[in-house]
Structures are given as C-alpha cells and as structure tokens.
Chains A and B, each alone.
Chain A
C-alpha cells in the first residue's frame, strides 16, 4: 500500500471498532408508523441548505447541507492549462476533484485518493460538464474542488448540486445549472428519496441472499433544458423498477431547481 511519508505514520491497516461489537442493525427501513430512521416519510427529501460565496479566495464557491451531509465546493479559473497534453485550441478543460475529509465518514479515510475517490471525481466531471460552455474558454482550464466535510448519505447529489452552484458563482458561462438526487430502492415499489448513510445500499447490509430490487439510483439533471447529465445505479434491479426509480429521481431533482435558483438570486442581492 502506498503511504505518504510526509505525514505521521498511522498503523498500516486499522478497523472501525464498531465492527467487532454486536450492534443490532434495524431490519427494515420503515418503522411501524411508516417513518424512516430520521423521522421522514418514504418520499420526503431532507431539507436542503445552499449558499454561494463561502470561500473568499476562490473565484466561486458554494456550500450544501442536507441535514448531516455537508459539502463545500470551490471553483478556480479559467486559468492557463498546466499540462501540455491537455491543451485544446478550441475548447477549455474542466477538472474535477471530489475528496472526502479523513474524518468525514464512519471509517477513517486515507489521505491518498483510492479507486473510489477517482471514480467519484470522474462521475462528478461527467455530471457537470454538459452544463458548462467549454467552447467559451479555449486554451484554459477550470478547476472544481469538492470537499465532503461530513457524510451522511447522498453525497454525490450534494456534490453535483454544489459544484454547479459554485460554477455559477464563479461567473462561468453555462447552459443550465445541474441538480441531482438519489434514491434507495428496496423492493418493488419502495423508493426512499435522499437516503441517509444507514439507508444506503451496500452488499454487506443485505440480510437475505435474494437481493432482487435492492439498490441505489442517482440522476443528475439540467432542469431548464430537460437533459439528463448523469445516471448511476448499483444493485440487482428489474428494468421496470429501475425506470420507476429514474423517474422518481428526475422528479426530485426537478424540485431542487427552485431552491438552487433562489440561492443564486440571494447571492447576487448581497
């Protein structure tokens, strides 16, 4: 395993002590009153808080909070391209990085990006690049840095929404903002909008060997021009269930548009 010599050496591998205790996990996602673990209904998203201009040094920045999920994003550029191979004469280069703070999740995160971080950064890039008018920024690069301060589920939608808001704040020309939403699918007709960590899909959390229609779906949307910029799914889903989940996600992402618009307007009024 590669280690970073500049930091104090922690043990090579360590585990979360909770794994060794006998913590009883709730078997179902809904309690007897049809309520979720944090007191929401199945189709109720968490309250969202968005704010522009939180980092004074950056060209543009945004902060997004979905209850305990907290994400901060800053945008730098357009500036000169650093690497010669990335130079393009007719369009600019968008660079994205999604990073988890080491203390953000239930397990300790390494400082060095792992395969998951690289994939997440790539998903973020593909979700926001359809919205940016890159042909307006030839020979230059725009950097988007997203830092997850606290992870309580649905990090990717929060990262995508805040990244697009930060790009708007930086005055980058765009076709549209990007809003995103995710759902946890648990059974034929159960789509839990905006899942928290304990509701998220993971192979280890499944109790039965029969795991049909258990999974997660995320959709990123350009709401005004009605284009889908990213779709992501994981788990074993029937295609009818998958399409139902995509529709639910799209609808939920559409609903975020007014919130994003409001926060843009309020940032200009200041």
Chain B
C-alpha cells in the first residue's frame, strides 16, 4: 500500500488524539469524511460512478458482456472484479507495484459478493449451460487518501445500481437451437437489484480505540484493522483482518458492532443519493473527474 512515512512522535500525536476522541481533522472516532458520488459518468459503460472521499478518488465502470456460465452454477450469471491502481495515485504503483493492493481489494470484493443474496446472479442467466451475462466491474484508483476499501465498495454499489442490462429475447430456432435477439432501443434495459448489495467498512485499531474512515496518515499508525462487509439490514457478508498486527478478542465484538452501525448509515445516505440521481437521469450536467 502507498505508505506515508511518519516519525514516531507524529504517530504518537495521532494515537493520543484518537485516544481523546479528537482526530487531526476534527472528527471523532466514528465520524466519516464527506463523500461525493456521481453515477453515469462514462458513456461507453453500462454503468459507472465516480467517488471522492477526502483525498481518495475512485472511478468504477461496469461492462456487461455475454459469456458461458460456470459449470458449477449453470443457471447463473457471473460477476468479476478487477482493480487497477494507477501510478498517478502513487509512484510506487508503477509497473507491478500496485498489484498487491489491487489483488487485495478485488479479493475482498469477491469475498463479500460470494453468496446468493448480495447480487442475485440467477437474474443474469440466459440459457442454462450456454449463455449468461458476465458483469465486469472495473475499479480504477486515481488518488489514495486512505480508506480505499470503503471508498471502492461504495463506488461499486453506486455503479451496479446504475448498470442497465439490455432486455434480450430468447427464441427457439431450428433444430432445438436457441437464438438471442437484442432490443433495438438502447434504453430498453433492466437494472440490477442492489438492495442487498454490501458495503465495506474498515475499522482500524489505534492504541486502545478503534476508528472508521482512517486517513492515509492514520492508516500508517494502525497495524491491524477489520474490514467488514455490511448489508443495509446490518448483517455481515464477509470479513477479514488486514494488517500485520493482532487484535484483542474482547475488542472484536465492539468493532463488528461499530462496523454494522456505520455500514447502515452509509447505506441509508447512499440509497437516498442514488434515488435522487436516478430521478434526474439525464437532466444534470455531469461533473466527472476534475
């Protein structure tokens, strides 16, 4: 990960601040930074979003293509996550430098979507064993300002919400074959149901307290954090400890509880925004990446 180099005294200053529930930017331990989300920003995608959280900037584009289903679940569609860390965000991402971080992020996304409810993949099936929709979610990290996991998951949910899949018709052709026909109208699409789509909440342990939405500076002071996938109803979908430190077993229930509450609030705020965005459709001018 892009590391900020801090001296010992700077680290102690941050940790003591957290201990007193007052962080460097004036937030308390459970406060999130301001989030900006915009959907439908890239014309060549089926769904897209751009997110800014403090100094973290993430862009997500979703493309849906036709493919063959996984033989383990022949009736379902597929969803793939690819994360790319741009060297613009941090010079250390040059070449293969960003690979570790991007594989970490895509693995945790795969982990939280690895169940039947997050995205109902059976709605993406077309012809069992033969054809299905393959959803490619491509995440581009443009700036690292801490808390990448949460930022990416919010952007992914926003872009999936915005994703329109063409309403295709399957008709029986000659000799038992089946034919797929696309609608003529490009706006004849169905939207993916994101009601149960989880969001990631990273709870970082610093000193004896834990914080959410850590900035890059704070991240370098924390050596263990818990990344939890939370649904709108406050259930968990996948969790992983990150970092090279260890956690006190007594603090884990508290951390999960914090993650659950923060996750619910995030969902409510995001859903409200997505509803507004959807209503406005094409009326507003997109800001895009500045």
Contact = CB atoms under 8 A, between A and B. Distances in A.
A78 B172 CA distance: 66
Name which of A230, A235, A243 has the most chain B CB atoms within 10 A of its CB: A235
B246 A236 contact: no
Contact of B256 (A123, A206, A239): A239
A242 B257 CA distance: 11
Interface stretch (B106-114, B174-182, B209-217): B106-114
Contacts of A238: 235-236
A212 interface: yes
Given A130-B245, A236-B118, A204 B252 contact: no
Interface string A208-223: 1111101100000110
B244 interface: yes
A118 interface: yes
Nearest to A130: B246
Contacts of A243: 252-253, 256
- Interface size class of chain B, counting residues whose CB lies under 8 Å from the partner chain: 35 or more
Contact of A222 (B73, B246, B253): B246
Name which of A116, A204, A239, A246 has the most chain B CB atoms within 10 A of its CB: A239
Contacts of B260: 239
A209 B114 contact: no
The DSSP consensus for interface residues of chain A is: mixed
B234 A115 contact: no
A222 B239 CA distance: 19
Interface string B84-111: 0000000000000000100110110011
A206 B116 contact: yes
B265 interface: no
23 contacts: A19-B72, A115-B110, A122-B107, A126-B242, A126-B244, A204-B72, A206-B116, A210-B117, A211-B117, A222-B246, A228-B247, A228-B249, A231-B239, A233-B239, A234-B115, A236-B116, A236-B117, A236-B118, A237-B237, A238-B236, A239-B234, A239-B235, A239-B256
